[in-house]
């Protein structure tokens, strides 16, 4: 049994521990929060003991994993203390609020050998995992048989998030960059990281711009563009000025001979239109029978997923240049993946959190590498901080690579 000590007893800590409640082999034993009443309420719900100081929690004998569920400004200090105390860490995003803190955490993970998982839930989302599998030639053919993947390399990605500010009053810590890191860092890391996962690489440069609320110096709109080593481009727009009922999110991914449209910041639905050859059309036709395999994420319990396909077989050749060579792609296919629509978002979100903790447990036991580990978390912070720097300095920020991790080039 891995014993969890939860730092923070607010709304997110309540949601997170609820998502983990029936995960085998983990149990919350300690809750820390400077608000004694809040710590006590959550601790009673979890049959844990409350403490007022997180420093006592990270060294407690009955804590194996420190769960960091506080506002971002406190993440780095808590994570570093936990690692140095020999504890594993499950950290809410962002890993840190700046590149230097993220680098220190990366070094501490390497020095201590502890497992750290960042709660980048999009890496544990079945819809995005399905898109990754459709890019994998191993999914398209029996073992050992050569095959082309259904989806080619990402050429362009666009994410648009028209988010609500109804719960973000002017005094909320979200608007204080000293606490949140700003929109790019507090919120954008999810989507910079998801783009890296879909592209299969970290960006080499980033441009950022900020828009301000009319009549105010409050930045409530953040837009960034990233360029990847193979020439792919991604754009991200995050606006916080909408009513709850007017929220909307859309991710569009151009694969050249295919396009995917993904809805929901927690993806619950995707439509893929593609042109393919005879073998690809046959693969598409069998996808509904392989829905469980297509959408599988360890630790994420799928609930009535639907995969539907339409294949329009056209007579005669249709040539397209794909991955640098000409292919005949006469068939148009549409693949729809649905986890249950907007009503399924809370469940999909909770299950992705559960899957991330399941990943940590797996890595503690096997010595494996997490899907969303310190490298992914630190890279997302680096890119987000570079976008914020670009916006401040009104210039492109170039990122240089050092082993696995990009860093911003000095001005």
Which tens digit of pLDDT belongs to each residue from 205-219? 999 999 998 888 888
pLDDT band at 187 (very low <50, low <70, confident <90, very high): very high
Lowest mean pLDDT among 102-116, 152-166, 309-323, 346-360: 309-323
Residues 119, 69: Cα–Cα separation, whole Å:
10
Q: Where is 245: in which H helix or E strand?
A: none
Which tens digit of pLDDT belongs to each residue from 72-108? 999 999 999 999 999 999 999 999 999 999 999 999 9
Residue 298: the pLDDT is 96
Residue 318: the pLDDT is 63
- 181-to-59, 71, 93, 386 alpha-carbon distances in Å: 28, 10, 11, 12
More confident residue, 144 or 52: 52
pLDDT at 411 over 60: no
Q: What is the mean pLDDT of residues 388-401?
A: 93
Q: Where is 407: in which H helix or E strand?
A: strand 405-408
pLDDT at 315 over 90: no
Residue 366, classified by CB atoms within 10 Å of its CB into exposed (0-12), middle (13-18) or buried (19+), is exposed
Residues 270, 287: Cα–Cα separation, whole Å:
14
Q: What is the mean pLDDT of residues 310-333?
A: 72
pLDDT at 379 over 90: yes
Question: Residue 404's Cα: distance from chain center in Å?
Answer: 18
Average pLDDT, the chain: 91
Residue 242: the pLDDT is 83
Which tens digit of pLDDT belongs to each residue from 322-343? 555 667 788 999 999 999 988 9
Instruction: Tell me how many degrees the CA angle 368-371-374 measures, rounded to the nearest 5.
Output: 85
Residue 19: the pLDDT is 96
């Amino acid at each position: 049994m891995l014993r969890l000590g939860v730092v923070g007893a607010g709304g997110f800590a309540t949601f997170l521990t609820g998502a983990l409640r029936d995960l085998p082999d983990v149990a919350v034993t300690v809750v820390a929060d400077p608000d004694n009443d809040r710590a006590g309420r959550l601790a009673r719900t979890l049959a844990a003991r409350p403490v007022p100081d997180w420093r006592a929690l990270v060294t407690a004998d009955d804590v194996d994993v420190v769960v960091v569920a506080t506002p971002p400004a406190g993440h780095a200090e808590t994570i570093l203390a936990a690692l140095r105390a020999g504890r594993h860490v499950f950290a809410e995003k962002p890993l840190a609020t700046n590149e230097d803190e993220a680098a220190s955490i990366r070094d501490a993970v390497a020095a201590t050998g502890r497992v750290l998982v960042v709660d980048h839930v999009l890496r544990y989302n079945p819809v995005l995992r399905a898109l990754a599998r459709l890019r994998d030639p191993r999914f398209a053919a029996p073992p050992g048989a050569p095959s082309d993947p259904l989806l080619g390399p990402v050429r362009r990605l666009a994410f648009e998030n028209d988010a609500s500010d109804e719960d973000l009053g002017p005094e909320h810590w979200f608007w204080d960059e000293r606490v949140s890191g700003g929109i790019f860092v507090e919120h954008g890391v999810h989507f910079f990281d998801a783009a890296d996962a879909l592209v299969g690489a970290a960006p080499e440069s980033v441009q950022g711009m900020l828009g301000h609320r009319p009549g105010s110096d409050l930045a409530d709109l953040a837009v960034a563009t990233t360029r990847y080593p193979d020439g792919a481009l991604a754009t991200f727009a995050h606006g916080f000025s909408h009513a709850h009922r007017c929220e909307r999110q859309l991710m569009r991914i151009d694969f050249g001979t295919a396009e995917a449209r993904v809805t929901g910041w927690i993806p619950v639905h995707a439509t893929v239109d593609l042109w393919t050859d005879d073998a690809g059309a046959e693969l598409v036709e069998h996808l509904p029978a392989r829905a469980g395999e297509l959408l599988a994420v360890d630790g994420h319990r799928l609930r009535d997923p639907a995969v539907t396909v339409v294949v329009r077989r056209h007579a005669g050749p249709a040539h397209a240049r794909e991955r640098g060579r000409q292919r005949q792609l006469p068939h148009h296919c549409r693949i729809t993946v649905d986890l249950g629509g907007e009503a399924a978002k809370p469940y999909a979100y909770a299950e992705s959190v559960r899957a991330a903790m399941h990943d940590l447990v797996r890595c503690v036991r096997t010595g494996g590498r997490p899907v969303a580990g310190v490298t992914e978390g630190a890279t997302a912070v680096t890119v987000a901080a570079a976008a914020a720097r670009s916006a401040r300095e009104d210039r492109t920020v170039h990122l240089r690579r050092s082993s696995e991790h990009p860093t911003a080039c000095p001005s």
